[in-house]
Structure 1
Amino acid sequence: MIKEKENTETTANAGTKAPIIEIKNLHKTFGKNNQVLKGVNFTVNKGEDLVILGRSGSGKSVTIKCIVGLITPDKGEIKVFDENVLELTKKELNEIRVRIGFLFQSGALYDSMSVRENLAFTLRKHKRDLSADEIENEVMEALDNVGLTEAVDKMPSELSGGMRKRIGLARTLILKPEIILYDEPTTGLDTITSREISELILDIKQKQKTTAIIITHDMACAKLTADRIIVLKEGTIQAEGTYEELEKSEDEWVRSFFE
């Protein structure tokens, strides 16, 4: 059943599994008048891929940045792995972050480092007990997961947009996160490459048993990856349901995303 023009807590359609992410009454204002989030509520169940849709400025990216503590909300509650993120110490928050992968829209690679060095840097920062051989094995396994082992010695400037996205994803996967937050994973890519990235998101879910939130404007990506979709409008949840339910919505604004 589709929920429209409500801002009550949504319920996942993934059986009786307990939520791995819980967002309650989330508010965030920038400056004096730019209220981006106005009481957002939703849950994500373990093993679920949730897509968040919305126009630019609707609060999509702000929401997932709040989840990992990159942005502090003005009010609300964020629970991840049953821990209240807003009450954690810096050390406790960092321990949570290691279990959450964040794929930034740009890929966020270090331009002065090779692909190998980009991935190894992440490992050395978070897993200091690994030997050089173990780091190399982890790097190659992560690249194999995204189909780019041959790019290990390339510099970011030598990579196409699609390859940069894949390497960024490999760097995210190298810590074997339980949750992955994808911020516009197909933006700027051609149709074929966008589909390849969407299929890779599905493949990762099946192989790594991850849970994900996917921020996207790409409706082909949403259709392929989403177990469930929520639609944000001006900082509140306008609708929630499956792709098939929402494309038949009686709300003309919601339906406009699917046309």
Structure 2
Amino acid sequence: MIKEEKNTEPKSKDKKQTPIIEIKNLHKTFGEDNQILKGVNLTVNKGEDLVILGRSGSGKSVTIKCIVGLIEPDQGEIIVFDENVLDLSKDELNKMRVRIGFLFQSGALYDSMSVRENLAFTLRAHKRDLSEDEVENEVIEALESVGLGDAIDKMPSELSGGMRKRIGLARTLILKPEIILYDEPTTGLDTITSREISELILDIKHKQKTSSIIITHDMACAKMTADRIMVLKDGVIHAEGTYEELEKDEDEWVRSFFE
């Protein structure tokens, strides 16, 4: 378990590993004085699921959106696959994004497209040399990996919230990403469906050897999926450890997440 002061770098539990993601001194302010990130430092090792906790508005989602260039930070470094994201050209960034899956809170499906069309559209945008048969096979494989092969011809409006999350995840998986960023993957779902999504996150990690950052308020999801947890407070990493370590933390504010 590690406690962090502002603008200090969290200690790594495994010095021998080269992080697949490393964020150094990340700052982001919106408007004139809404400073969200004040020097975030974090690492994700290959094959690790890192959960980030924090109150609403603490900058959790901002942090992962900076990783894929959806938000541009004011200061800091974001090293992914040994490259600084902030130094990449637009083409280089797009190539990196293919290796990084991002699951949005809503699932972000195109409402005017069927499930098949949603997944095929993503695949064709990045792998234009595939034949129609190859696209179809990839779509079926991705849907079966999330247990929804029979939903291929449905429209998003016909799907439950949990199904939309699964289809969104299938669309992410179809590009075979090495890293997946989950933004509140169980928000708005009932307890049973939330558990199913958490189990799916673990299954994907083990079968596809992905590394992940999981943003969540769902402590059951955090307990099930996290190899390590970081807690954001006042724009910096305030505490780090396993679920069991942070559950017994001396800091009452940290413990409040686990009550």
- TM-score, normalized by length of structure 1? 0.98
1:235 and 2:235 correspond: yes
The change in CA–CA distance for 1:179 and 1:129 in structure 2 (over 3 A counts) is: same
Identity of aligned residues (%): 84
1:156 and 2:156 correspond: yes
The change in CA–CA distance for 1:4 and 1:97 in structure 2 (over 3 A counts) is: same
- Asked whether the equivalents of residues 115 and 151 of structure 2 are also in contact (C-alpha less than 8 Å), the reply is yes
Displacement after TM superposition at 1:3 (Å): 2.3
Please name the residue that 2:147 is paired with: 147
The change in CA–CA distance for 1:197 and 1:54 in structure 2 (over 3 A counts) is: same
Displacement after TM superposition at 1:12 (Å): 4.3
- Asked whether the equivalents of residues 20 and 81 of structure 1 are also in contact (C-alpha less than 8 Å), the reply is yes
In the alignment, the residues of structure 2 paired with residue 13 and residue 191 of structure 1 have an alpha-carbon distance, to the nearest angstrom, of 32
Displacement after TM superposition at 1:15 (Å): 6.9
3-state DSSP class of the match of 2:164? Answer: helix
In the alignment, the residues of structure 2 paired with residue 186 and residue 249 of structure 1 have an alpha-carbon distance, to the nearest angstrom, of 25
> What is the one-letter code of the residue matched to 1:204?
I
3-state DSSP class of the match of 1:36? Answer: strand
In the alignment, the residues of structure 2 paired with residue 46 and residue 63 of structure 1 have an alpha-carbon distance, to the nearest angstrom, of 19
The change in CA–CA distance for 1:6 and 1:53 in structure 2 (over 3 A counts) is: same
Please name the residue that 1:34 is paired with: 34
Displacement after TM superposition at 1:9 (Å): 2.1
In the alignment, the residues of structure 2 paired with residue 14 and residue 208 of structure 1 have an alpha-carbon distance, to the nearest angstrom, of 22
Please name the residue that 2:193 is paired with: 193
3-state DSSP class of the match of 2:134? Answer: helix
Please name the residue that 2:218 is paired with: 218
CA deviation map 1:24-81 (0-9, x unaligned)? 0000000001000000001110000000000001000000000000000000000000
Please name the residue that 1:182 is paired with: 182
In the alignment, the residues of structure 2 paired with residue 200 and residue 11 of structure 1 have an alpha-carbon distance, to the nearest angstrom, of 30
Please list every run of at least 4 consecutive aligned residues from structure 1 whose deviation after the TM superposition is greater than 6 angstroms.
Answer: none
Displacement after TM superposition at 1:6 (Å): 5.3
CA deviation map 1:132-166 (0-9, x unaligned)? 00000000000011000000000000000000000
**1:1-259 matched pairs, under 5 angstroms:** 1-5=1-5, 7-13=7-13, 16-259=16-259
Displacement after TM superposition at 1:120 (Å): 0.1
In the alignment, the residues of structure 1 paired with residue 209 and residue 202 of structure 2 have an alpha-carbon distance, to the nearest angstrom, of 10
Displacement after TM superposition at 1:84 (Å): 0.4
Displacement after TM superposition at 1:2 (Å): 2.9
CA deviation map 1:182-208 (0-9, x unaligned)? 000000000000000000000000000
3-state DSSP class of the match of 1:19? Answer: coil
- Asked whether the equivalents of residues 7 and 38 of structure 2 are also in contact (C-alpha less than 8 Å), the reply is no
CA RMSD of aligned residues (A): 1.0
- Asked whether the equivalents of residues 64 and 181 of structure 2 are also in contact (C-alpha less than 8 Å), the reply is yes
- Asked whether the equivalents of residues 23 and 42 of structure 2 are also in contact (C-alpha less than 8 Å), the reply is yes
- Asked whether the equivalents of residues 2 and 245 of structure 1 are also in contact (C-alpha less than 8 Å), the reply is no
Structure 1: state its 5+ residue gaps.
none
- Asked whether the equivalents of residues 116 and 153 of structure 2 are also in contact (C-alpha less than 8 Å), the reply is yes
- Asked whether the equivalents of residues 5 and 239 of structure 1 are also in contact (C-alpha less than 8 Å), the reply is no
- Asked whether the equivalents of residues 9 and 43 of structure 1 are also in contact (C-alpha less than 8 Å), the reply is no
Structure 2: state its 5+ residue gaps.
none
> What is the one-letter code of the residue matched to 2:162?
G
> What is the one-letter code of the residue matched to 1:180?
I
In the alignment, the residues of structure 2 paired with residue 12 and residue 242 of structure 1 have an alpha-carbon distance, to the nearest angstrom, of 13
- Asked whether the equivalents of residues 14 and 48 of structure 1 are also in contact (C-alpha less than 8 Å), the reply is no
Total equivalences in the alignment: 259
Displacement after TM superposition at 1:234 (Å): 1.9
In the alignment, the residues of structure 2 paired with residue 13 and residue 219 of structure 1 have an alpha-carbon distance, to the nearest angstrom, of 22
